[in-house]
Chain A
Amino acid sequence: MKANLPDGQLLKEIFASGTTWLEKSAPDINAINVFPIPDGDTGTNMLLTMRSALEEATRNSDSDASSMTKSLAYGALMGARGNSGVILSQFWRGLAKGLEGKSSFDAKDFATALAEASQTAYEGIIHPVEGTMLTVLKDAAEAADKTAKVNSENLLSVLEAAVEAAKDSVARTPSLLPVLKEAGVVDAGGQGIYVLLDGALHHLKGEKDKMQYRQPRLVAADVALTPKMAPTATEVEVPYGYCTNFVLKGQSLDLKKLKKDLGKKGQSLIISGDESLVRVHIHSFEPGEIINYATHLGTLHQISINNMDDQYVEFIKMQKERLPTADIAMVTVASGDGFLEVFNSLGTAITVPGGQTMNPSVRQLVQAVESAPSDNVILLPNNKNIILTASQVESLTSKKVKVVPTRTVPQGIAAFLAFSYEANLEKNAQVMEEAITAIKTIEVTKAVRKTQLNGMKIKKGQFIAILNDENLIASGSNIKEVIFEALLKADIEDADVMTIYYGAETQASEAESIAWEIQDKYSIQVEIVRGGQPYYNYIISLE
């Protein structure tokens, strides 16, 4: 046996450092916890689970890797709290399986054990969801395996690969799990796994002392942070119930049957352990029923039942503290999936579907304002026919509401971009109104009937261009010619930035070829964005 191979003591030490790292970032991890329930305790739960694991490990003076991992796994199981804690305990159980019978281990063993740990974590859950800590564990294990294949001796490079992969994986979680994307956060449990491994890596690099005066760097989501934790206009508020946790001790426990039976009694079920000792985590409206069921199978220990609705209230408070000052929520009206995404990407709290020929009701707007996560709301109607409806909202809610009278969607976007995090509600409304005046909107659509407007004779089916939702400025049968004529009449030469939003039935390639021609002719920054709007082939803004 090589004397310098990593053993159980080293494993304990590096994960003790990992836990220190986790402790430093636990509050930040709590703050991004939105899945499966936004209860804001993932960081704490993972930390307490790790502490319990380490306490058990401290009692073990054996340097044997197999024995030490078993202690860690047992401690994690006994101390597991919440969803993330139970999954973490599964991770340790898998790692112990992977290192079974080994007194020391090399990089390859570690990679194999990580793979086992990741697989075991998946097995604890009936319906595994990607974009969570499971995915992060899997990606880390895969990267470790890849590196171990070429460098089987070097634990440092294997752990380094795992940490890098975990970091990237965490950054990707919002694109895998829509609820994360909506909230503008990465997965909290995944973040916890990354921090834990990163802390272990720092220790292995010999930076244990440095860690005292350093802070873990958390992975940020690649999407806007939006205050969308409150239910949206169309959602009905549903209580979350109780988070129920306990350890079940018994003999020849049938884990499959336990999973099946409990699965019918609640959500977010996770089961970790073996036939003599099982950790159960479940969300249910009737925790009594679950406890009652389990007492028939063995003895219950470490029972905890938390009201998740209370936790949610706390969580919302925590969210407000995270948001960048200016406690103002934006509520917008728009139609077209592209425009909805644009407003989302800018950080709108709620977008009410509506626009040309589908005006939202006052009630819909009031609902949206009421459910916006702030008492200060700015409402952008984005259509001249909705401005009047929107202006009635102010008197129908106790919240402070300012309506910025945006007549077109580009005006709404310009107003939104002018939003200042350093100004209050009134000042913002003023800045936004000013921003509207600096923008021109050209809407291009097909005439639905024969008509005569502004001295122009228009046949049914011809293209028409309207400036600022008021004046017909161009018409014709060739859409490009209509657009160019309209641009000229809208004084394109005075503008710096032009954005072309193409509609639901317009091809991206057509929009691109128009953009090329414009750039050839004028010195202007042209941007093409899918608006996905109905009726209008193009909505163009000049600013």
Chain B
Amino acid sequence: MVKIVTDSCSDITPELAQEYGIMVVPLYVQFGDKVYRDNVDLATVEFYHKLVKSKVIPTTSTVTPEFFTKLFTKLAKETNEILTITLSEMYSGTYGSALQGKAMVKNKCHIEVIDCQLAIGGQLLLVTTAAKMAQEGANLNQIAQWVREAIPRTHVRMSFDTLEYLRRGGRIGKAQAFLGSLLKVNPVLSIKDGTTFPVARPRNRAQAMDFLVNFAKGFHHIEALAIEDATTPGELEILAQRLKDLVPPERFYRSKISPVVGTHVGPHVLAVSILEGEC
């Protein structure tokens, strides 16, 4: 069976990883001298508490090539096909590390590495669907081809209270167009072509949620849908109620923005990701 590997920025929960047999590789978040593995040593609740309270600004770092080499070598004992799906290369060096790690594997195992040009829920939808295909017996080429074709059909929208975290971490991308507004807005951004794009400027959180809901309802055919929050489970519940009928329950995913992504987006993000059905 094809083994599916991804990174922690996919926000795949341990339960999902278990269910679909996905190997989730953690990135790192660093507060001062202390280094934590994303979602492993530092849970989201604790992290966001620290993010808001701590005077030290956390930094993040990528997975090393050596880590991937070791992981691939180990996995190669159980399988001869590995598909690794990483977050956008524009956000992190994880894709490069995976490629380098792959080059150093002295084994005949067939390893494919794909930069999915997304992160968070969008990546989650691609990875879980890929893992489902693997469970159903698809081979590496089939799954890899499907992922590449599905990337343009995968849409992510995130609403923010502030873009300051994105700016500070250098991941603002084209959404810089929304910085510096003299009016209070709750910007909605997308991830496209691997980077951050401006989408809309609702005036408050309620309008922002309406925007996310209308965005999701605008699709004719949705294959899978993921919603995420960082520190606002109440809002996530409301969002879930408003969107749950759009897809069958087994293709409706709820998750949390991981600490590594949280470092760059801040504690008040809500996200909706959609895998659009093939026409």
Contact = CB atoms under 8 A, between A and B. Distances in A.
Interface of A: 184, 210, 212-215, 217-226, 322-325, 341-342, 345-347, 413, 417-422, 496-497, 499, 525, 527, 529, 543
Contact of A221 (B90, B179, B185, B203): B179
Contact of A342 (B167, B179, B183, B206): B183
Contacts, number: 104
B169 interface: yes
B170 A421 contact: no
Contact of B199 (A345, A420, A525): A420
Interface residues of B, number: 37
Contacts of A218: 170
B246 to A, nearest CB: 20
Interface in B144-175: 167, 169-172, 174-175
B184 to A, nearest CB: 6
A499 B203 CA distance: 10
B21 interface: no
Contacts of B201: 346, 417-419
A496 B210 CA distance: 13
Nearest to A527: B184
17 contacts: A210-B93, A212-B100, A213-B96, A214-B96, A215-B90, A215-B93, A217-B169, A220-B179, A223-B179, A224-B178, A324-B174, A342-B183, A346-B181, A346-B201, A417-B183, A496-B207, A499-B183
B36 interface: no
A222 B185 contact: no
Contacts of A417: 183, 185, 201-203
Contacts of A420: 199-200
Given A214-B93, A215-B93, A223-B179, A421 B65 contact: no
A422 B202 CA distance: 15
A292 to B, nearest CB: 45
Nearest to A322: B174
B139 interface: no
A219 B204 contact: no
Nearest to B176: A225
B170 A324 contact: no
Interface of B: 62, 64-65, 90, 93, 96-97, 99-100, 167, 169-172, 174-185, 190, 197-204, 206-207
Nearest 4 A-B pairs (CB), nearest first?
A213-B96, A217-B170, A324-B174, A223-B180
Contacts of B182: 341-342, 345-346, 529
A224 B204 contact: no
Given A325-B197, A417-B203, A497-B204, A345 B180 contact: yes
Contacts of B90: 215
B185 to A, nearest CB: 7
Contacts of A214: 62, 93, 96
For A213, A323, A413, the residue with the greatest tally of chain B CB atoms inside 10 Å of its CB is A213
B177 A224 contact: yes
Nearest to A227: B177
Given A184-B180, A324-B174, 7 more contacts: A219-B170, A220-B170, A222-B167, A222-B180, A224-B178, A347-B177, A496-B207
A529 B206 contact: no
Nearest to A525: B204
B182 to A, nearest CB: 4
Nearest to B62: A214
A345 B181 contact: yes
Given A213-B65, A214-B93, A324-B174, A224 B181 contact: yes
Contacts of A324: 174-175, 177, 197-198
A346 B171 CA distance: 20
Contacts of A347: 177-178
A226 B202 CA distance: 20
Nearest to A225: B176
A91 to B, nearest CB: 24
Contacts of A421: 177, 197-199
A496 B206 contact: yes
B102 to A, nearest CB: 12
A418 B201 CA distance: 7
B204 A496 contact: yes
Nearest to A223: B180
A422 B203 contact: no
B64 A210 contact: yes
Contacts of B199: 420-422
B161 to A, nearest CB: 13
Nearest to A543: B203
Nearest to B66: A209
B97 A213 contact: yes
Contacts of B204: 496-497, 525
Given A342-B182, A346-B183, A543-B203, A220 B93 contact: no
A525 to B, nearest CB: 6
Contacts of B185: 417
A32 to B, nearest CB: 10
Contacts of B170: 217-220
Contacts of B180: 184, 221-224, 345
Given A213-B100, A215-B93, A323 B174 contact: yes
A96 B37 CA distance: 43
A499 to B, nearest CB: 7
B103 to A, nearest CB: 11
Contacts of B176: 184, 220-221, 224-225
Contacts of A346: 181-183, 201
B203 A497 contact: yes
Contacts of B183: 342, 345-346, 413, 417, 499, 527, 529
A216 to B, nearest CB: 8
Contacts of A496: 203-204, 206-207
A206 B100 CA distance: 18
Contacts of A422: 190, 199
Nearest to A174: B180
Nearest to B193: A325
A213 B93 contact: yes
A220 B181 contact: no
A184 B93 CA distance: 27
Nearest to B206: A496
Contacts of A323: 174, 177
Nearest to A207: B61
Contacts of B200: 418, 420
A342 B207 CA distance: 21
A221 B176 CA distance: 8
